Amino acid sequence: MNYGKNKYIVERYNIGVEENLKKICVNNIEPLIESEMQDKENAFKKYGMTNWLLYKSYGNDFEDFVGMLSVIAQRYTKKHFKKEIKGEFFVSELWGIVSEPSGLATPHNHWPGVFTFVYHLELPENNPPLIFTDSDLEIQPKEGELIFFPSWLKHEVPENLTGGNRICIAGNMYYNEQTIWWRLSTEILWKKGCELTSIVLVTLNPWLSKNVFEPVFLS
């Protein structure tokens, strides 16, 4: 467990490398992009990505992983949040990432999600850290490590100066009050082959994750 000066908790779990999930990730990577977004704060350089709903196509393969994330979310909430939360957490998005040499991700967050996770499947030697820019926290991830944190924490990955690829699975989780909106939008857009599910949730319910969950500040 680690936390920065603003005391938001970031948890780390060593769960090992699931080779099957790694293979699924690599096999579904789309062409590398120089910059997916024009907004500099959300720029990704030399990133290959799968679609945002990778787990939908491989439900059985991700069943145990997604179940584990739900347990982690419940435990995290009970331990670190002031309010007693009685509800369901679910994975709303899950995608694969391959960052080539020179690849980077500038500061961004995953709001309006509640929790975000990054599962490191392959890391080159001297791989770049995961930096939480508002928290003065820097984590050097390890292969097989899952990093779990509140979605509104801004973070970045500096330029990959190694000669190898960084392969990860990342995603977001939501809470039951958001469930009806998110699942409805996800199912509709998934059937139509659309990957812009987050736009629907932001439009319908943009305030839930910050209003429902109040972060605990540790002494």
State the average pLDDT over residues 82-109: 82
CATH code for position 107: 2.60.120.620
Residue 154 lies inside a defined structural domain of this protein: yes
Residue 219 lies inside a defined structural domain of this protein: no
Number of domains in the chain: 1
Residue 187 lies inside a defined structural domain of this protein: yes
Residue 26 lies inside a defined structural domain of this protein: yes
Residue 143 has what pLDDT? Answer: 96
State the average pLDDT over residues 143-165: 91
State the average pLDDT over residues 114-123: 95
What is the band of 127 on the pLDDT scale with cuts at 50, 70, 90? very high
What is the band of 83 on the pLDDT scale with cuts at 50, 70, 90? low
Residue 174 has what pLDDT? Answer: 86
Residue 166 lies inside a defined structural domain of this protein: yes
What is the band of 82 on the pLDDT scale with cuts at 50, 70, 90? low
DSSP secondary structure, 5-68, as one string: TT--EEEEEE----HHHHHHHHHTPPPPBS-S-SSGGG-EEEEEE--TBHHHHTHHHHHHHHHH
Range of the domain at 195: 2-212
Q: Is the per-residue pLDDT at 131 higher than 60?
A: yes
Residue 217 lies inside a defined structural domain of this protein: no
